[in-house]
Amino acid sequence: MSDLHAVLTGENVILARLRRADIPEMTRHFANLELTTYLGASGTTGSFEDEEAYFESVSKSMADNVTFGIYTRQEQVFIGGIALRSINDRHGSAELAISIHNPDYWGGGYGTEAVRLMVEYGFFFRGLHNIMLGAYAYNVRGIKAYEKAGFRIIGRRRGAIRLGTERFDIVFMDITADDVDTSRMRKMVQLLP
């Protein structure tokens, strides 16, 4: 895809600015109730207009929010999105959000690699020290992916999420700059051989 401009490239994924052409694919996947449940919006779906508004909101450069699309490296297929939100330059902190929209790519390591790239980017290029996230306890696959990427559980908000007639915890996780090797980012700007 000639209009895909990689910002970060891993073994299997590319992180790049979202493209307007991705909106129909986002809309298709946000009709999946399993996906929206993992994102905390259980029972809801997104319309084309919803996804277009989301695209418009994240496609502008903002000091406190960086959003990339996730694409497969080989085929350059759009499979999801990842963001650093609530970036606080004074404290060097941010929150991570990710979604692998396309279920065909769930469990394949794409999310873990995208998280690693985004964390390295945040620590090296944005000067962050701490990145945290919240995951719903029923999203076991997501929690395992975060742990593989180096995140640690730091606490829980007990019973804060209701799904059907059950209550689930929000699991809070974080990672610090001390936990991450940023040599890949240093090589990108030729600070290391």
Low-confidence ranges of the chain (pLDDT < 70): 1-2, 29-30, 32-33, 35-45, 191-193
Q: Is 83 within a domain?
A: yes
Q: How far is CA 21 from CA 57, 75, 114, in A?
A: 15, 16, 21
**167/131 Cα distance (integer angstroms):** 26
Query: 47: number of CA atoms within 13 Å, CB side?
Result: 3
pLDDT of residue 44: 67
For 17, counting Cβ atoms within 10 Å of its Cβ (0-12 exposed, 13-18 middle, 19+ buried), the class is middle
pLDDT of residue 163: 86
| Number of domains forming the structure of the chain | 1
In a domain, 193, yes or no: no
The SS3 of residue 158 is strand
Domain enclosing residue 85, as ranges: 6-188
Q: What CATH number did the domain enclosing 167 receive?
A: 3.40.630.30
Res 51: pLDDT: 76
Which pLDDT does position 62 carry in this prediction?
Answer: 78
List, for residues 72-83, the tens digit of each pLDDT value.
999 999 999 999
The pLDDT value recorded for residue 1 is 44
Classify residue 147: in a domain, yes or no. yes
In a domain, 111, yes or no: yes
